[in-house]
Amino acid sequence: MAREAEAGDYLPQRFARCRKGATAIEYGLIAGLIALAIIASLITIGNTLQDNFYGSIAAAMAAAAGG
């Protein structure tokens, strides 16, 4: 017994209407870009703290040690 195909049964038409996967991918890309921005800013802040804070401590310790 053959089943008659309805207008919505064709795979390309169903695929074109389905937006859940595309939305999930878009949200994943946005989350990835936000994570990348956070990581880049933390690296920059870390380098700045290392240069300013730890550099001054190292200089003070060197001066206190007489070197």
Residue 4 included in any domain:
no
16 inside domain: no
> Is 43 part of a structural domain of the chain?
yes
Residue 52 lies in a domain: yes
Q: How confident is the model at residue 66 (pLDDT cuts 50, 70, 90)?
A: confident
60 within a domain of the structure (yes/no): yes
In this predicted model, which residue has the larger pLDDT, 63 or 34? 34
Q: Is the pLDDT of residue 1 over 50?
A: no
One-letter identity of residue 63: A
Residue 44 lies in a domain: yes
Q: Is residue 8 part of a domain?
A: no
Chain-wide mean pLDDT for the chain? 80
CA–CA dist 40, 47 (Å, integer):
11
- Are residues 41 and 47 in contact, defined by beta-carbon separation less than 8 angstroms? no
Within a domain: 19? no
Number of domains into which the chain is organized:
1
Q: Provide the residue range defining the domain that includes 42.
A: 36-66
Percentage of the chain exceeding pLDDT 70: 72
